[in-house]
Amino acid sequence: MNADDNLMLWDYAHIRLIDIRHVLFKAGDKPNSYRFPAEGFLYLVRGSAVFRLNGNKHTAERFHILHSGKGGQLDIDWVREELEFYFIFYKASLTLTSGLGVRRLFEKNSPFQRQYEFAPNAPLDLLFQVKKMHRKWLESSLLERIQVKAMLYQFVYEVERQRQANGKDYVKPDLVEQAVRYIQESYSQPITLSSIAEQFNYSVAYVAKQFKNKTGNSLIDFLIRTRIDKAQELLLHTEASLQEIAAGVGYADLSYFIRIFKKTTGVTPGNFKTLAQARVKESDRPKIRLRLSNAGWTERSYIVNEYDNHYQYNREGDSPMYRNTRMSMGAAMLLCLVLMLSACSSGNSSVNSASASTSPAATVQTQTSSPDADPNSLSTRVYKDSQGHEIEIPESPQRIVLQGNSIGDLLALGIEPVGIDRRFIEESVYLDQEKTPAQDIGFPTNLETVVSLEPDLTMLGYAMDKQYEEISKISPTVVFDQNAPLSERLPLIGEIVGKKAEAELLLADYNSKAEAMWNGLRQEGRIAEGETAVVLIYYWDKTMYLMKDGGVPNLLYHPLGYKMSDAVQAIEPAEGAPYIEVSPELMHEMLIGDHLFVMYPADADAEKSFNELLKTALWSTLPAVKSGKVTFVESKWNYDDMLTSSKLLDELPQMMAH
């Protein structure tokens, strides 16, 4: 982001000063971890400290400036000498008159969410300003508060001028990692997608898209999995009642907690505890179990309440912080195990560096360890993945672990992975397609489980943090883009697993059947030339989105299928978002099409809230509703893997007939 864009957004934005606080720590204090309740500056005026902002380590001396967006996590090491600093918190939002270009820039490159730190060239000018602002802020007069707000702009000007003089660049925090930490810290509190988006000052659609792209999973699914994991720990290691456990992991309604627990694990909480106790009694000898699903993130606490800024006001000097940097026993044991495996494998394998090239796949190396061994399983080749890693992988892998949502692609190719994230299959349209159900590797991926499965290839549809480095020590590992269109993704997966020709045949057959389906619907008069369609997806929390992409829209907007109306085509999503949020009062302006397709999850809560919408006058007066051209589609059909896409060709005509 250039300086002019930065200053333009400061000019366009509405700035509200939230708080100015003076903080003092004595030598020997252990400050708590602290999450920025709003956008803000920290100005260190005395002492020095080693601190981490969103995990990035910095060393700060006296007169150091630090800026963070809302939700940024600050950790300060043990205070060795007296430490004094000021917090200046503000809230930035765009005015209603801001144009679309400004709004896109605000969403994508907001300077208010960026982090940076530097030592100013003229620190005393800033010090005098901060002290004066703090003194005025403590005065109760409204006139002084207005004066402080004016002084804030002068302070920002001086900071920006000196930052540019220092040549310091912005660092954009990883939104997904921040959201993961937020959920793991506050899972016991009421959390929604909207509240998380508000916590980090982004739109709901942008947060949802970024989380899905990086993890392959929805943010709400991750929240549920985190809560259920915590509930399992409480069931196994405490005598708390079900009501206490439900409340402790964020579910006030006990019956709903039991339903969601069974939906996630396959058993009720009571049966889970009974089965676990039975397994303990049947064990003849002790076993070492590593619980490493969350080994990459340390648990930290922070203050949350119902108020707008999510923090409690504390008097000067009592800022709530702590940090815990001890490595978990499980993580240490896994590291030892991985290093041993790595050492063993390095002594028994060799990679022909001359065979590595810039092409996606290079020549095959054949190694033979036994006359009776299957030669296909022992042939290897060097493959260059989507992140540029050059890896020696099996020509025809036999034991694949998949991280991501492309399970239907592998099954369509006749590949049964030994390990998957089972949440992507439990609600799928191909639930019964596995001959031998794969082991659940969980989310985040449990490295202990991956080790136990002894894969000869691990495929990552997405990679978080340092996952590649960790998993590649266990088996050959390739990264691919699971969000690429089916026409690009399936041949790529086929190439990785040694079935590229089969993948291309599957795609050709799918395209032929899609043309036949649409030609059949046209011949039956069920779709007219130039007829338009619009797609809406509805969620259990009553949020609705206009869809332009996904498994269902991609089929509907086939060249022989429906057209997208000019009005819908002109509606642009926020930068980085896959679709556009629709409020009930705007349905008539946004859901413009001859035929309306409504996707919804097969969930009791969603069905209940959706039925309420169907009874409203706004819904009943939609043109497509009045003409009877509404088709309801379960949201499980919106995946674009090969198995789901193929089955949708058979199901769509039947759905439209109802």
Residue 171 sits at φ, ψ, to 5 deg, of -120, 125
pLDDT at 176 over 90: no
- Tell me the CA distances in angstroms from 479 to 387, 390, 423, 447, 564, one per residue in order: 7, 11, 20, 16, 34
Helix-strand-coil split of the chain, %, nearest 5:
45, 20, 40
Spatial CA neighbour of 484 closest among 494, 471, 472: 494
CA distances from 589 to 97, 209, 547, 553, 564 (A): 20, 24, 15, 19, 15
Q: What is the pLDDT of residue 314?
A: 34
Amino acid 71: pLDDT: 84
Q: Is residue 463 pLDDT above 70, yes or no?
A: yes
pLDDT value at 355 more than 50: no
Segment 32-55 shows an average pLDDT of: 85
State residue 56's pLDDT score.
Answer: 77
- Predicted confidence (pLDDT) per residue in 590-613, tens digit: 889 999 999 887 766 667 777 888
Q: What is the mean pLDDT of the chain?
A: 78
The pLDDT of residue 280 is 58
- Mean pLDDT is lowest, of 45-49, 451-455, 516-520, 539-543, for 539-543
- Reported as a single tens digit per residue, the pLDDT across 103-140 is 666 666 677 878 888 888 778 778 888 988 898 888 76
- Across the range 482-501, mean pLDDT stands at 93
Q: How far apart are CA 241 and CA 179, in angstroms?
A: 30
The pLDDT tens digits of the residues spanning 288-316 come to 333 333 333 333 322 223 223 332 223 33
**Window from 257-266, 300-309, 408-417, 516-525 with minimum mean pLDDT:** 300-309
Amino acid identity at 255: S
Q: Among 556, 550, 484, 547, which residue's Cα sits nearest to residue 514?
A: 556
pLDDT value of residue 489: 94
Of 336-345, 355-364, 399-408, 433-442, highest mean pLDDT = 399-408
Mean pLDDT computed over 342-363: 36
Q: Edge to edge, what strands does the sheet with 379-384 contain?
A: 361-366, 379-384, 390-394
pLDDT value at position 512?
A: 95
Tell me the residue ranges of DSSP E strands in 443-563: 457-460, 477-479, 533-538, 544-547
Kindly report which listed range (60-64, 128-132, 300-304, 404-408) carries the lowest average pLDDT score.
300-304
User: For the segment 525-567, what is each residue's pLDDT rounded down to a tens digit?
Assistant: 889 999 999 998 887 667 788 888 888 999 999 999 999 999 8
Residue 488 has pLDDT above 70, yes or no: yes
Task: Summarize the confidence of residues 511-536 as an average pLDDT.
Answer: 92
Stretch 335-347: mean pLDDT: 42
Q: Give the model's pLDDT for residue 15.
A: 83
Q: What's the rounded Cα separation, in Å, for the pair 285 and 571?
A: 63
Q: What is the DSSP string of 292-342?
A: -TTTTS--------SSTT------TT--------PPPHHHHHHHHHHHHHH
164 versus 346: the higher-pLDDT residue is 164
Is the pLDDT assigned to residue 365 strictly greater than 70? no
Q: Is the pLDDT of residue 412 over 90?
A: yes
- For residue 578, what pLDDT is reported? 57
- pTM of the predicted protein model: 0.48
Tell which residue, 11, 30, 112, has the closest CA to residue 71.
Answer: 112
Q: Are the CB atoms for 53 and 67 separated by under 8 Å?
A: no
pLDDT of residue 20: 92
Domains of the chain: 3-166 (2.60.120.280), 175-282 (1.10.10.60), 354-498 (3.40.50.1980), 527-657 (3.40.50.1980)
Q: What is the pLDDT of residue 406?
A: 93
Strand 477-479, strand 533-538: pairing: unpaired
CA angle 36, 1, 73 (to 5 degrees): 15
419-449 pLDDT, tens digit each: 999 888 877 888 888 888 899 998 888 888 8
Write phi, then psi, for 314 (nearest 5 degrees): -120, 145
Higher pLDDT, residue 393 or 275: 393
User: DSSP code of 398?
Assistant: S
The answer to whether the CB of 358 falls within 8 A of the CB of 384 is: yes
So what's the pLDDT on residue 327? 37
CB 587 within 8 A of CB 621: no
The two tokens of residue 424 are 């992507």
Any idea which residue has 């090239």 for tokens? 357
Tokens 């506050």 sit on residue: 186
- Please compute Rg for the chain using Cα positions: 28
Q: Where residue 375 falls among pLDDT bands split at 50, 70, 90? A: very low
* Model confidence band, residue 516 (pLDDT cutoffs 50, 70, 90): very high
Lowest mean pLDDT among 158-167, 237-246, 472-481: 158-167
Distance between CA atoms of residues 117 and 60, nearest Å: 9
Provide the total of helices (H) and of strands (E) in the chain, helices listed first: 26, 22
The predicted structure's pLDDT at residue 541: 66
371 has a pLDDT exceeding 60: no
Q: pLDDT > 90: what percent of the chain?
A: 26
pLDDT in tens, 198-257: 777 677 777 888 888 888 888 888 999 999 999 999 998 888 888 899 999 999 888 788
**90: nearest Cα among 52, 142, 54, 36:** 36
Structure token pair of residue 406: 């492309």
State the amino acid at position 418 in one-letter form. Answer: V
Confidence (pLDDT) at 341:
41
Q: What is the DSSP string of 570-602?
A: H--PPTT-SEEEE-GGGHHHH--SSEEEEEE-S
